[in-house]
């Protein structure tokens, strides 16, 4: 179950944006076509509303010399804001947010390098002051992704995933993790057995914890599914008095803050499992340099 939590943390928009940035660095004039804002509807029908300040690539083309090809479209936008003053008690704060909407693939002679069909967005906030620092990163992914760049050979998810998952992490002065949603992996990647995760967890770390907070285990539950569609649900402290998993599981055994959860298989109680949560907060937020991809960074002579 700890491996499942770690794997769920990797299903985030940062992975997709990193691979999309890589894909744009192989652009050449005319392949693919690049548009400021949205392309004409007969090129790609992106229904994003009137306010679309980002950039779109849209094409079905191949670069003969490089054996690089693009098919479909990808729209992205991002913004970074800076406030405050460095070296002061209030500190310097950097906020950023970005979005990727795509139904496209980039590949080469060896096959698919990056493919994404769906929507992804994330946001960051980093503050550095004289006596403290903090960060917050949140990600929402709803889509399917494959390719050798985000999922190289030997990675935990070599064939990619399909996911609808929200991740939020804070660190520095207050430690917390939120995981909500589900992910399906195209190979049985967890313990050579499980192919899907469903999760609704809330972690509180030692930093910033209140007197009534439990730091030994999360609130909520995580479920793993095997190829026979059997779910293994590990239930920790309930998130609220009437919220366990939406299933009629008994409530009393789940009230102790002891680092353990109750395991259910097909709704039948099997005993307790006590995962090792050591290092769950050892996370690095994205930097401002990697967060925004502007049209000036594209290796092309211009955009329509």
Q: How far are the Cα atoms of 40, 50, 52, 117, 148 from residue 72, in angstroms, in the given order? A: 14, 21, 18, 10, 18
Q: How many CA atoms lie within 13 A of 188 on its CB side?
A: 9
Per-residue model confidence (pLDDT) at position 93: 94
What token pair was written down for 186? 């195209």
**pLDDT given at position 257:** 86
Instruction: Provide the pLDDT for residue 144.
Output: 98
Which pLDDT score, from 0 to 100, does residue 244 have? Answer: 47
| pLDDT value of position 191 | 66
CB atoms within 10 A of CB 18: 15
Q: For 88, list phi and psi in degrees, rounded to 5.
A: -120, 165
Cβ atoms of 249 and 220 within 8 Å: the answer is no
Left, alpha or beta for 91 (phi > 0: left; psi -120 to 50: alpha)? left
pLDDT (0 to 100) of residue 292: 78
Q: Average pLDDT for consecutive 10-residue bins of the chain (304 residues)?
A: 90 95 92 90 76 90 88 94 91 94 95 97 94 93 97 88 96 93 84 87 91 90 90 85 51 72 90 91 81 77 45
* Residue 11, SS3 per DSSP: coil
How far apart CA 113 and CA 108 sit, in angstroms, is 7
Identify the helix (H) or strand (E) that includes residue 61. strand 55-63
**pLDDT value of position 94:** 93
Q: Residue 122 is inside which H or E element, if any?
A: strand 111-128
Would you state the pLDDT for residue 149? 95
Is residue 29 within 8 A of residue 63, CB to CB? The reply is: no
pTM of this prediction?
0.90
CB 96 within 8 A of CB 90: no
Pairwise CA distance, residues 304 & 302, whole Å: 7
* Rounded Cα gap, residues 59 and 32, in angstroms: 5
């Amino acid at each position: 179950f700890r491996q499942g939590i770690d794997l769920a943390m990797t299903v985030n928009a940062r992975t997709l944006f990193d691979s999309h940035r890589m894909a744009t660095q192989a652009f050449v004039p005319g392949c693919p076509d690049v548009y400021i804002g949205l392309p004409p509807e007969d090129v790609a029908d992106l229904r994003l509303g009137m306010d679309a300040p980002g950039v779109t690539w849209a094409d079905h083309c191949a670069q003969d010399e490089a054996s690089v090809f693009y098919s479909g479209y990808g729209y992205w936008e991002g913004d970074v804001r800076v406030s405050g003053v460095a070296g002061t008690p209030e500190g310097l704060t950097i906020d950023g947010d970005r979005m990727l909407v795509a139904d496209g693939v980039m590949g080469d002679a060896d096959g698919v390098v990056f493919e994404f069909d769906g929507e992804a967005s994330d946001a960051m906030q980093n503050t550095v002051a004289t006596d403290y620092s903090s960060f917050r990163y949140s990600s929402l992914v709803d889509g399917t992704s494959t390719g050798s760049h985000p999922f190289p050979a030997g990675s935990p998810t070599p064939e990619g995933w399909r996911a609808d998952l929200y991740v939020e992490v804070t660190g520095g002065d207050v430690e917390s993790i939120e995981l909500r949603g589900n992910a399906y992996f195209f190979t049985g990647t967890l313990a050579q057995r499980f192919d899907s995760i469903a999760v609704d967890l809330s972690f509180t770390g030692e930093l910033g914890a209140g007197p009534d907070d439990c730091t030994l285990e999360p609130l909520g539950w995580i479920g793993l599914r095997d190829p026979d569609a059997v779910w293994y649900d590990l239930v920790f402290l309930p998130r609220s008095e009437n919220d366990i998993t939406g299933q009629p599981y008994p409530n009393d055994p789940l009230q102790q803050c002891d680092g353990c959860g109750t395991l259910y298989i097909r709704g039948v109680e099997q005993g307790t499992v006590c995962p090792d949560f050591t290092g769950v907060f050892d996370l690095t937020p994205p930097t401002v340099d990697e967060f925004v991809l502007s049209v000036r960074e594209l290796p092309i002579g211009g955009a329509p």
